Structures are given as C-alpha cells and as structure tokens.
C-alpha cells in the first residue's frame, strides 16, 4: 500500500473495467468488484474516479463491506492544491461514540425528568381526592 496517487491520477480511472474510488483519502481499485456490488454497478460508476466517501458513508455499509473494501486498497490519496476538498470528515471511533452516548444521556435525562413530573402530578391528584372524601 505504499503507492500514493494524486486526484488527477485517480480521476483517470473511471471506466467499468478500470475503476478507482477514494474513500477517506484511501484509494481503492474496485474494477473487480463492479459486477458483484449488491447496489448495482451504476452506484460505483457514478462515483468512479472521485472521492466517494460521502456516498459510501451515507449508505451505512456493513462490517463485511468494509472488509471487502480493505481487500481492494491500492494506496493513499496525495492531495494537492486545487483538488476537491473532502466532503466528509474521517470517521473516528471516539467521535462517533461520544455523540451517541451524549445523545442517549440527554434522552435518558429527559425521560427521568418527565417520569418524575408525572409521578409528582399523580401524587398531588391522589392527595386532593383524599381531601374531598
């Protein structure tokens, strides 16, 4: 994987039999996988010779798909001035787990707060009914 390719070199490989993709600044030769791709060849050809990071991540590929992708790795992208900017930031385990856990914590806090308010309301209602009887 010591091969470094420029964006111009990658963009020259956009045909079905010669198809390179860039995902998270890594270059993959997906020529051998075009016919096997579960989503059809069109989705690969649409992003052939380009940065396909956003398209790849938007679909939510499985761990198995990511393993297949690693088998297609041929090098890294050497970004140069004037190249298109990446549309999506690299995914890191710490960033994704932090956002998930903070979202869960906030939701859990809201549920506890609403449950407490409902319990207090029920308690006050029962107290007022006992006072009338």
- Residues 74 and 112: their CA atoms lie apart, in Å, by 51
For range 43-70, the mean pLDDT: 91
Cβ 131 vs Cβ 123: under 8 Å: no
Question: Structurally, what CATH architecture does the domain formed by 4-78 represent?
Answer: Roll (3.10)
Closest CA to 61 of 18, 23, 26, 99: 23
For range 20-47, the mean pLDDT: 92
- Looking at residue 102, its pLDDT comes to 56
pLDDT at 96 over 50: no
CB neighbours of residue 30 within 10 Å: 25
pLDDT tens for 102-121 read 566 777 778 888 899 999 99
Cβ 86 vs Cβ 31: under 8 Å: no
Q: Domain-by-domain residue ranges, the chain?
A: 4-78, 93-133
- Residues 91 and 53: their CA atoms lie apart, in Å, by 10
- pTM summary value: 0.62
Give residue 87's pLDDT band: very low, low, confident or very high (50, 70, 90): low
Starting at the edge strand that comes first in sequence, how are the strands of the sheet with 4-6 ordered?
Answer: 4-6, 73-78, 26-29, 18-23, 14-15
């Amino acid at each position: 994987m010591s091969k470094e390719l420029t964006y111009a070199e990658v963009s020259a490989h956009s045909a079905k039999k010669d198809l390179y993709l860039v995902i998270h600044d890594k270059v993959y030769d997906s020529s051998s996988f075009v016919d096997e791709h579960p989503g059809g060849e069109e989705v690969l050809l649409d992003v052939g010779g380009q940065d396909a990071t956003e398209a790849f991540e938007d679909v939510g590929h499985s761990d198995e798909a990511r393993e297949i992708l690693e088998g297609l790795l041929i090098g890294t992208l050497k970004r140069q001035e004037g190249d298109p900017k990446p549309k999506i930031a690299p995914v890191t385990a710490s960033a994704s787990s932090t956002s998930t856990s903070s979202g869960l914590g906030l939701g859990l806090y809201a549920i506890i707060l609403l449950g407490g308010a409902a319990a207090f309301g029920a308690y006050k209602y029962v107290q007022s009914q006992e006072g009338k009887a």
